[in-house]
Amino acid sequence: MQTPGQNLCRHTVAVAALLICWTAHADDRTATADAKIAVAQASLQRAEQSGAPLLAPVDLATARDKLARAQKAKSNDDLRSATSLAEQADIDAQVAEANAQSQHAHTAAAEFDASMQALRAEAMRTAPSTP
């Protein structure tokens, strides 16, 4: 037979344990949101330095907008939205960067093709005629 005091003690411990678990989980969610926002910021910085502002403005604007919304959600303690928006901002920034880089590579390849055509034409022009 347990005394009411012992029951109360057991219940308090149980509630305390639940609270600790919940706050730890909440801390984890905050850390996750923070980490994802930081990753998105880094991706956005790289994109901005890759020529994306000129070559992939729409993708970049989308990334910037979502990062801003993620930060706003975080400050409103809406961790779920903050995390998902940060994930989207990160991939959007990477797409912007890759878009810009693929355009750079395409331009360089086209210039190379043109110079090769000119080179081949010149070579045919100055080649000695076969006896």
Partner 1 sequence: MRTGMNTNIKLLAAAGVALAMIGCASTPVLNPQLESARAMLRTTEADPNVAKYAALDMESARKELAIAEAASLRNDQPTVTQEAYLASQTARLAQYRASAKADDARVAAGQSEREQIELAATNRQIQKANSEADQAAAKSAALKAELEALKAQRAQQ
- 127, 76 Cβ separation under 8 angstroms: no
Q: Which of 50, 40, 62, 64 is nearest to 99 (CA)?
A: 50
Residue 80 to residue 29: CA distance in whole angstroms: 8
Nearest-approach distance from CB 49 to partner 1, in angstroms: 16
Residue 109: both structure tokens together: 């390849």
Q: Per-residue x/- marks for partner 1, 64-103, CB under 8 A?
A: --------------------x--xx--xx-xx--xx-xx-
# of chain residues touching partner 1 (CB under 8 A): 27
Residues forming the site for partner 1 (CB under 8 A): 84, 87-88, 91-92, 94-95, 98-99, 101-102, 104-106, 108-109, 112-113, 115-116, 119-120, 122-123, 126-128
